[in-house]
Amino acid sequence: MKKLKNVTVLDHPLINHKIAILRSVETHTKDFRELVEEITTLLTYEAFKDAPTQEVEVQTPLEKCTQRMIAENSIAVVPVLRAGLGMVAGVHTLFPTAKVGHIGLYRDEETLRPQEYYCKLPDGIENKRVIVLDPMLATGGSAVAAIDMLKKRGCKDIRQMSIIAAPEGVEKLATAHPDVHIFVAYLDRELNEHGYILPGLGDAGDRLFGTK
């Protein structure tokens, strides 16, 4: 894959360690869910590096000082149902006041095209930084559709956060929405003929929610 400007792939021993356990077919729902949260927390640290901040005055036990805090009401996360739900707690561990919107999309198994079924976003979302959460960026169809929906509702400052991505999905999203910075914990090799990421981890929604 050619190097893309707006893509950050976390290359870190802690991430790689956790992803190895996440991929394993031996890892069951409880551990899988906890690992998704932990990896999301590590991604959040990276994705918040340039979060909008404001100056506040703080009284310490010794004196007053000024300090920068993340601007109130400035950030929303939007998990793509279902699997994105598994990432919300990982963001809230570091930033509990992030507002949460929800977008419902599923991939048609024949065409692999995303089908929209739900959209509920926080008031004033158009003025917030929005981080789309979806552990899997495969063909990129769902991410492109989710971001289209957000832009149609006026959002201008959007990022994508995923745990595992295929090069095909990263390229599709970067081409469709070059203004959207993409944060991924790991970049995998390719997609198979059914649109599954290889080596991947299988179906993230089923593994998170124990549906298969």
Q: Which residues bind ligand URA (CB under 6 A)?
A: 83, 136, 138, 195-197, 200, 203-205
Q: Is 167 helix (H, G, I), strand (E, B) or coil?
A: helix
Is 81 or 100 the residue whose CB approaches ligand PRP more closely? 81
According to DSSP, the β-strands at 99-100 and 75-81 are parallel
Tokens at 92, concatenated: 């809230």
Whose tokens are 């024949």? That residue is 110
Residue 35's Cβ-count burial label (10 Å; 0-12, 13-18, 19+) is: buried
Within 50-89, the residues that bind ligand PRP by CB under 6 A are 80-83
For residue 21, how many other CB atoms are within 10 A of its CB? 14
- Our CB check for ligand URA shows the closer of 79 and 200 to be 200
Report what 114 binds from ligand URA, ligand PRP, none; CB cut-off 5-8 Å by kind: ligand PRP
Cis peptide before 23 (omega within 30 of 0): no
CA dist., res. 173 & res. 196, Å (int): 17
Place of tokens 């601007």: 71
- The 178-197 contact track toward ligand PRP, x by CB under 6 A, reads -----------------x--
Q: Kindly tell me which of 68 and 120 has the beta carbon lying closer to ligand PRP.
A: 120
With residue 135 as reference, give the H or E element that holds it.
Answer: none
In angstroms, the Cα distances linking 36 to 86, 104, 184 are 7, 19, 12
Active site residues: 107, 111, 203, 206
Determine, following the binding rule CB under 6 A, whether residue 134 of this chain makes contact with ligand PRP: yes
CB of 208: closest distance to ligand URA in angstroms?
A: 9
Name the residue nearer to ligand URA (CB basis): 88 or 136: 136
Closest distance to ligand PRP from the beta carbon of 84 (Å): 7
Q: Are 168 and 142 in contact (CB under 8 A)?
A: no
Q: Is 200 in the site for ligand PRP (CB under 6 A)?
A: no
142 binds ligand PRP (CB under 6 A): yes
Only segment of 5-13, 69-77, 140-148, 150-158 that touches ligand PRP (CB under 6 A): 140-148
Compute the least distance from the CB of residue 67 to ligand PRP, in Å.
38
User: What is the DSSP secondary-structure string of 80-100?
Assistant: EETTTHHHHHHHHHH-TT-EE
**Interface with ligand PRP (CB under 6 A):** 80-83, 105-107, 112, 114, 134, 136-143, 169, 195, 203-205
